[in-house]
Structure 1
Amino acid sequence: MIINLNENIIKKLTKTEYEIVKFINNNQKILQDLSIVDIAFETFSSPATVSRAIRKCGINGFNELRYKLTSKNENNNVHNIGEIINKSLIEARSSIENISLTNVLKIIENIKKSSRIYVLSRGLTEYVADEFTLKLQLLNCNVVSLKDPNIMKIKTKGMKKNEMAFIFSLNGETEELVKSAKNAQESGACVVTCCCNNIASILQYTDLSLIAYKHSHIAIKEFEVSSRLPLYIISRVIIDYMVLESENNYINKK
């Protein structure tokens, strides 16, 4: 059995949840081909009920259950896919756990107070910054994305105290970003850094930071093309909260 049941666990399960666990244990051979939606369909339940049943059995969600199954599978292809999925799961979960909710709220308050926001990034992280910039623009923020090293160094030297430098950097060690953060801080502007390194050089020139988790495994080792998933998660948390706050304010005014 992939899920071990004992008397204490059985007592916690509803009748539907017990049937879900029985289905999982009785169909271990085909489980790797099923999604959580498929299991819900086969057990006349819902994905939320399937997830709840699994968690009551001491397993942290469907993805962890599937990883347990694939890790024992003799088929190397299935095992490798399980490892890859688990890597993304670890990266996403750890990034969310690392995020300081207090800092998120402080950053959003400073975004709203800033007369202009410069979003700085380099390399593949520019894709994260571009999406973040666009969404802030849609929320009526005065925001500009800077990618050119020379332009960002010049612009950050002349920043005003009511402006913000918002920096996305995977490792927080990119020379031009560190220099720009130093320039912005010396100008009196608010400096926000989102990165995946809690001892990054850039943090010494940062007023507020959000530190995500980057998995040590790199798929393409010859190039610096690590996943930017952790930075996307940070970006999404900030934008989604700002949207929620905006919607609540609109409702309250009606």
Structure 2
Amino acid sequence: MRLIRYGKGEVFIIISLDSDIIENLTKTELEIINFINSHENTLHAMSIVDIAFDTYSSPSTVSRAIRKCGLNGFNELRYRSGNKARSEEIQSMNELFNKTLIEAQAVHERISLTDILAVIQCLKEAHQISVFARGLTTYVGQEFSLKLQLLDYDVFFTDDPNIMQVKASKLKERDVLFILSLNGQTPELVSSAVTAHQKGNCVISCCCNPKSRLLSCSKISLVGFKHSHQAIKEFEVSSRIPLYMICRIIIDYMSTYS
């Protein structure tokens, strides 16, 4: 963010413009950037829809204009303007928005597209897909299982540790075990993975811990990113957004290209 001084006043330019950038902008895009720079005091409270409405444009045009100026998108713009805001509440909220953005970007950077395609191929060839999850990750597993069922796959889901052990020992030759775990250290999930792996079944683990014990007994592992910030420190209620994202990518591909 660039600071320009005029007499006793100060003007913050959120998006700096040079001749090369200006030449690359359309008339509408330039008007959008000028609007952003002239509303630095209120921009932190605006959404991309608000900016589009006030500039008689569209959210996609606003996003394109911002990216042409070298920013990664509206979230980075909001982060810059939020840091300028004097309100501590606005600054705090801005940090929370940025936390989610960092988490999402890290998942995209860390997940191998080759591994995603390999997972999808295993799921397509499976006779039955068993999905295991525990704790809050149960909700991720339930949604993932339901969507697979809607795509006409034979899916068995459980979060019961006793059932996991029995089911893992009775998997048939073409059955696949898909394990969802944030930390990848839950004993019953690890034990189930070991059992299925020793039987020769395809074990797929999806977690956010690169040192998880699950990785050594999985045919394919999808390792996301876990943010260090924990909102409620007394309990393990860290964000499951990375797991949701990975499952969504799998489901979206299978529903679109199957």
The interval holding the TM-score normalised by the smaller chain is: over 0.9
SS in 1 for 2:221: strand
Deviation string 1:85-130 (CA, Å, 9 cap, x unpaired) is 1101110121122221111111111111111111000000000000
Residue aligning to 2:6? none
How far apart in 2 are the matches of 1:157 and 1:10? 65
How far apart in 2 are the matches of 1:97 and 1:44? 35
2:194 matches 1:182:
yes
Residue aligning to 1:56? 68
Is the 1:115–1:142 Cα contact (8 Å) retained in structure 2? yes
Is the 1:192–1:209 Cα contact (8 Å) retained in structure 2? yes
Deviation string 1:140-161 (CA, Å, 9 cap, x unpaired) is 1010112111110121122122
Match for 1:100 among 109, 112, 123? 112
Greater helix content: 1
2:256 matches 1:240:
no
How far apart in 1 are the matches of 2:68 and 2:223? 31
Is the 1:156–1:184 Cα contact (8 Å) retained in structure 2? yes
Residue aligning to 1:15? 27
SS in 2 for 1:80: helix
Residue aligning to 2:18? 6
How far apart in 2 are the matches of 1:212 and 1:43? 38
2:152 matches 1:148:
no
The Cα shift of 1:179 comes to: 0.7
How far apart in 1 are the matches of 2:179 and 2:171? 14
Compute the TM-score of the two structures, normalised by the length of structure 1: 0.94
The Cα shift of 1:45 comes to: 1.5
How far apart in 2 are the matches of 1:173 and 1:219? 21
Residue aligning to 1:251? none
The Cα shift of 1:201 comes to: 1.1
Residue aligning to 1:249? none
2:72 matches 1:45:
no
Is the 1:96–1:233 Cα contact (8 Å) retained in structure 2? no
Match for 2:178 among 166, 187, 190? 166
The Cα shift of 1:51 comes to: 0.7
How far apart in 1 are the matches of 2:105 and 2:55? 28
Structure 2 portions without partners, runs of 5+: 1-12
SS in 1 for 2:71: coil
Structure 1 portions without partners, runs of 5+: 247-254
Post-superposition, which runs of at least 4 consecutive aligned residues in structure 1 deviate over 4 A?
Answer: none
AA partner of residue 84 (structure 2): K
Q: Which moved more, 1:229-238 or 1:1-10?
A: 1-10
How far apart in 2 are the matches of 1:49 and 1:139? 35
Residue aligning to 1:129? 141
SS in 2 for 1:198: coil
Residue aligning to 1:191? 203
Residue aligning to 1:89? 101
Give aligned pairs, total.
Answer: 246
Residue aligning to 2:5? none
AA partner of residue 240 (structure 2): R
AA partner of residue 66 (structure 2): I
Is the 2:17–2:69 Cα contact (8 Å) retained in structure 1? yes
Is the 2:41–2:85 Cα contact (8 Å) retained in structure 1? no
The Cα shift of 1:33 comes to: 2.1
Is the 1:21–1:54 Cα contact (8 Å) retained in structure 2? yes
Residue aligning to 2:84? 72
